[in-house]
Structure 1
Amino acid sequence: MTARKTTAPTPPAAAVAADAHWSATRERLMARARPVLKLTICDDDEAKQAVANARYVEQQAKIEADRDPKDAAAQAAHRNAVAALEEAQAALDAVSIPLRFQALERKTYKALLAEHRPTEEQADDGYEFNIDTLGPVLIAASSLDGITEEDAQTYLDTWAPSEAQALLNTAFGVQREERMDLGKG
């Protein structure tokens, strides 16, 4: 589905005159990128455990280093632990597969939902869309890494259920990602 390009409306002159900062605020709002989520896949349990161990050692070394900033041995131990953690993380990153997903424009997402209406049984169960047909399409449409619908369907059909669900959850989750705070002003 192709997103059509729209031109930004011009703000009312009265609004700009009333608030000199509105123009800059508006520009920032118009320039916002849609949310992105990353799903990292790693089949190497040893690499994951090495990072967990290195993180624990680094945290313990930091506690000791913070306890006495003048203790040269504790400071050196912390620096070494940080280096070991960075090395373990680099090794994990090298064997991991990161997949990135970006939220679709609202109109595009709503159109996809409308194109994949639920079956009667799904509707009776309260579903607003057909997860079986929408899943691979949404994964492909939101993938920043070029996952095709065919690839997505293969992953959903052949991966372990929890892994397939994690893939689906990431593609759906980025559509619902919020980066706003409705707190007091």
Structure 2
Amino acid sequence: MTTAKKTTAPIPPPAAVATDAHWAATRERLRNRARPIARLTICDDHTAKQALAEAQFDVQRAQDSADRAPDDEAAQTNLRDATTALVRAKEAFDKASIPLRFQALDRRTYKELLAAHPPTEDQAEDGYSFNLDTLGPVLIAASSLDGMTEEDAADFLDTWAPAEAEALLNTVFGVQQEDRMDLGKG
């Protein structure tokens, strides 16, 4: 894995900061932003997944009824019961699940990884700018907040069902592309 070099950020003259306290505060907030994190939750327990989906549906239906009849005690009781059932279903789902967390890399590290894994001739002809087969495990390991190794990642990509391996790759590439900015009018 390539490590990014630390650069020293320029420090504006104190007089400039004193005249623009707003920018100083904004700059500090910008420097303290955390990179995006994505979560991939794996649950092999179909019963737990189904129970959670049903409980979510029941809460939505109960919420709709309670909203339509705020003075109806039966509707309010039904909503409380459905919410309690949802909490239990979520706890069972969480217990049966394996959560994986991935954090976006800094731009320099990401670009270095892409450059270190150029596409094969065939991949380049297909429009790829990197070699997914070699980059995938490296990027997964570099982005993992759970300590997943390149070897683990390569094994999972090779042995999981195609849709699941694709979900893992999509999660890791997706977090690198996550955009939390709004370019709206000021």
- Same fold at TM > 0.5: yes
Match of 1:183 in 2: 184
Q: Is the 8 A contact 1:15 1:22 kept in 2?
A: no
Q: 2:41 aligns to what SS in structure 1?
A: strand
Displacement of 1:53 after TM fit? 0.8
TM-score (norm 2): 0.94
Match of 1:20 in 2: 21
In structure 2, stretches of 5+ residues that fail to align are: none
Give the distance between the partners of 2:149 and 2:111, measured in 1 at CA: 20
Q: 2:21 aligns to what SS in structure 1?
A: coil
Is 1:172 the counterpart of 2:173 in the alignment? yes
Give the distance between the partners of 1:12 and 1:64, measured in 2 at CA: 61
Match of 2:72 in 1: 71
Match of 2:92 in 1: 91
Q: Is the 8 A contact 1:116 1:130 kept in 2?
A: yes
Displacement of 1:167 after TM fit? 0.6
Displacement of 1:5 after TM fit? 2.9
TM-score (norm 1): 0.94
Displacement of 1:4 after TM fit? 3.0
Supply the RMSD in Å over aligned alpha carbons.
1.4
Which residue type is aligned with residue 80 of structure 1?
Answer: D
Percent identity reads 69
Q: Is the 8 A contact 1:36 1:103 kept in 2?
A: yes
Give the distance between the partners of 1:142 and 1:126, measured in 2 at CA: 24
Displacement of 1:15 after TM fit? 5.3
Q: 2:102 aligns to what SS in structure 1?
A: strand
Match of 1:54 in 2: 55
Q: 2:52 aligns to what SS in structure 1?
A: helix
Match of 2:145 in 1: 144
In structure 1, stretches of 5+ residues that fail to align are: none
